[in-house]
Copies of this chain bind each other. A is one copy, B any other.
């Protein structure tokens, strides 16, 4: 691990920065999509938000649960549960000095699988498309974690 300082200037680290930023931006997009459904369908969680949803009478009825909103929220939650581990383990992985081509393969598979996962969740596509996309992301992250633990193990 003597070459770690060198790694932070490397193309692998640049590639990690690029793909991590893209996949985090994709995750952040789920917030506005949730807001869009809340505002267009007038479905809110907080009394103070109902004023944005239209005229004031019957505001209490707007505090409700909607299947479309919940679907986006589940997708967002799944992003949190999978993209954050990718970013953490991917950063450590990038510092272990992998081959550029191997690293790009991991980053591209992960980001591609999460984009597919979002499409499969929101349309929705029939299963097992979403399950497979989720699994590809998991396997990619496990593969990077394996390299981190085999090159940097210090318990």
Contact = CB atoms under 8 A, between A and B. Distances in A.
Contacts of A134: 31
A129 to B, nearest CB: 9
A42 interface: no
Identical chains in the assembly: 3
A87 interface: yes
Interface residues of A, number: 62
Given A4-B9, A28-B81, 9 more contacts: A4-B13, A14-B152, A14-B154, A15-B154, A21-B92, A24-B85, A28-B85, A28-B141, A45-B70
Pick the 10 closest A-B CB pairs, nearest first: A14-B154, A17-B152, A15-B154, A17-B92, A24-B85, A21-B148, A48-B124, A14-B152, A4-B9, A18-B154
Interface of A: 1-2, 4-5, 8-9, 11, 13-15, 17-22, 24-25, 27-28, 30-32, 45-46, 48-49, 51-52, 70-71, 74, 76, 80-82, 84-85, 87-89, 92, 95, 121, 124-128, 130-131, 134, 138, 141-142, 145, 148-149, 152-155
14 contacts: A4-B9, A14-B154, A18-B149, A18-B155, A21-B88, A21-B145, A21-B149, A24-B145, A25-B142, A28-B82, A31-B138, A48-B124, A80-B81, A80-B84
